[in-house]
Structure 1
Amino acid sequence: MPKSLALASPTPVVALGLRDRLAAYWALTKPRITFEVVLIAAFGFLLGTPGPVDWARFCHAMLGIGLLSGGIAALNQWMEHPADGQMRRTATRPIPSGKVTPFQALLFGLVLTIGAEAYLCPTVNPLTAVLGLATAIGYVWIYTPLKTRTWLSTAIGSFPGAMPPLVGWAAAAGSLSLEAWVLFAIMFFWQFPHFYAIAWMYREDYRRAGIGMLPVIEADGRRTIRQTLITALVTVGLSLLPFWLGLSGWIYLAGALLLGALFLQSCLVLARTRTNLAARRVLRASVVYLPMLFLLMTLNRL
């Protein structure tokens, strides 16, 4: 069995009170990331709604997607806990800190993931459940193991990472159209500058843990900078398509151009200076860019 799949805890289990134990399980779901996933899925749902919004289905979909995202996060931490224990930024996560055992995290993640699938199929529709299952398999069982094997894992992981708007659209419409795939493509390419910025800032941590992302394996950063700029440009270009496809209007187009210009500016500063500070600015710009883009798109649609 690979080291990342070992069930032995790297540190002794810490005795916790009920409140602290619940907090540890909550942390396993990566609440901030889960919130972002649900938010983008919610925009996808609203954009994919052909008529009046079915708010009951919306609530069912967001609950199921939230449970699924939390389950995937827990399973991801179960698989990565040996590496997490070697990195400063992740050493305090529930498993490496001894607050939760690997087996407990595995069981918790499986219960959430399977429960979410069982909930989404009857309350929303089978397509949403199928896309959710594909996301779980792609992220946990394909992308996560590849992180220590190839720098191409970023591209591979971007497929399940771009699923939230697609899942949200499917939940509303019960099918996938060209517009839905455009949303998927925007989020797919957006992930490259976002994750390259993180890897640039924490490349020593990643190197210590044996995670070979592109900023870690190259010394001069040329390919990282080139790919960051290219994928940022593609993202901004794709962000104009919702206007041309009639998914959103002129207000969105103006906002997309402004947001895109600010996003590209942060990437150009990183290309020029190649500092951790510039990488942090790219990260912040990316975190603002995507939800604001989808928010504008949705508001100009409704």
Structure 2
Amino acid sequence: MVGFFLGSPSEIDLATGALMVIGMIAVVGGGNALNQYWERDVDALMHRTRNRPLPTGRLTSTEAMIFGMVLSLAGLALLVFAVAPIAAALAFGGWTTYVLVYTPLKQRTAASTLVGAVPGAVPPLVGWAAVGGTLEPAIWSLFAIIFVWQIPHFFAISRHYREDYKRGGFPMLGVYDTDGSVTGLLTVAYSLLLVPLAILPTILGLAGANYLYGSLALSTGFFAVTVWSLRTLGAGHERWVFLGSLIYLTVLMAMLVIDRLPIA
């Protein structure tokens, strides 16, 4: 909804916004169902996924595939006919990357994390396009922020669940980086990259000075958390990086919205 809000004129079309959210939930939900369909055998090996409907037999693979396809198509149809064709095209691009590219790559290369960050960063573009906005550099700054943010976020997850991912045969960096030093260094590097990226919305005219100062403070704080985690390897501090990443993105998006509110 952040992209939708930022791209809207002074009066927000709540009906279109609601339809967009429903459509996106359907597309994302359908994609997740198909992901679980493809990974049903692997999910049965991992503790965190073995109780999902397919490994436990609560759903058959055919039922899951049909459900995922129907839900995805229904969401795309809603976006095409009730929101905007360009929004549907962007959502379809994200769906395709997630289901047909990212999912098969997960068991082949650690670089799949970068591929998976693409569909994860698409929603702001969909929201912006839903209100007729052209895909100008300003909204791409949100795409860049969310894309980069996902890397330390998922590195923290892969470190925390490294034994589970190893059981499933996923070649995640966090699994084979024995002491966590490489993952930690890359986490610090990506969090540092967020500092200049987070101010792009102000530079490109999407936000004002209040957001600028807040984003600098927030990005610096998250960077400090990742540095602290690197300095204390092996202490399970990836959980704090994970929590910090959630707080970071939530507060950053909230600041963007608040910055645009017509406060006298």
TM-score (norm 1): 0.83
Matching residue within 211, 222, 238 for 2:181: 222
Q: Residue 106 of structure 1 aligns with which residue?
A: 65
Confirm or deny: 8 A CA contact 1:127 1:175 kept in the other structure. no
Q: What is the aligned-residue identity percentage?
A: 43
**1:233-272 matches, cutoff 5 A:** 233-272=192-231
Confirm or deny: 8 A CA contact 2:181 2:233 kept in the other structure. no
**1:120-131 matches, cutoff 5 A:** 120-131=79-90
One-letter amino acid of the counterpart of residue 172, structure 1: V
One-letter amino acid of the counterpart of residue 168, structure 2: A
Matching residue within 255, 265, 281 for 2:240: 281
Does residue 296 in structure 1 map to residue 252 in structure 2?
Answer: no
One-letter amino acid of the counterpart of residue 173, structure 1: G
The offset of 1:229, in angstroms, is: 1.0
Confirm or deny: 8 A CA contact 2:162 2:175 kept in the other structure. yes
Partners of 2:10 and 2:203 lie apart in 1 by 20
Partners of 1:45 and 1:95 lie apart in 2 by 35
Q: Which runs of 4+ in 1 moved over 4 A?
A: none
Partners of 1:269 and 1:186 lie apart in 2 by 22
Confirm or deny: 8 A CA contact 2:7 2:133 kept in the other structure. no
Which residues of structure 1 form unaligned runs of 5+? 1-41
| CA distances 1:28-48 after superposition (whole Å, capped 9, x unpaired) | xxxxxxxxxxxxxx0110011
Does residue 57 in structure 1 map to residue 57 in structure 2?
Answer: no
The offset of 1:291, in angstroms, is: 1.8
94-103 or 203-212, which moves further after superposition? 94-103
The offset of 1:93, in angstroms, is: 1.2
Determine helix, strand or coil for the equivalent of 2:86: helix
TM-score (norm 2): 0.95
| CA distances 1:49-97 after superposition (whole Å, capped 9, x unpaired) | 2442122211111111111111111111111111111111111111112
Q: Residue 71 of structure 1 aligns with which residue?
A: 30
Does residue 175 in structure 1 map to residue 157 in structure 2?
Answer: no
Partners of 2:214 and 2:58 lie apart in 1 by 44
**1:83-102 matches, cutoff 5 A:** 83-102=42-61
237-246 or 49-58, which moves further after superposition? 49-58
One-letter amino acid of the counterpart of residue 177, structure 2: E
Confirm or deny: 8 A CA contact 1:200 1:276 kept in the other structure. no
> How many correspondences in the alignment?
261
Partners of 1:43 and 1:58 lie apart in 2 by 10
Which residues of structure 2 form unaligned runs of 5+? none
Partners of 2:63 and 2:217 lie apart in 1 by 46
168-177 or 88-97, which moves further after superposition? 168-177
Confirm or deny: 8 A CA contact 1:125 1:174 kept in the other structure. no
One-letter amino acid of the counterpart of residue 299, structure 1: I
Confirm or deny: 8 A CA contact 1:199 1:216 kept in the other structure. yes
Q: Residue 150 of structure 1 aligns with which residue?
A: 109
One-letter amino acid of the counterpart of residue 104, structure 2: P
Confirm or deny: 8 A CA contact 1:128 1:171 kept in the other structure. yes
186-195 or 213-222, which moves further after superposition? 213-222
Confirm or deny: 8 A CA contact 2:121 2:143 kept in the other structure. yes
Give RMSD over aligned pairs: 1.3
Q: Residue 150 of structure 2 aligns with which residue?
A: 191
The offset of 1:299, in angstroms, is: 1.1
One-letter amino acid of the counterpart of residue 144, structure 2: A
Confirm or deny: 8 A CA contact 2:27 2:71 kept in the other structure. yes
Partners of 2:54 and 2:254 lie apart in 1 by 35
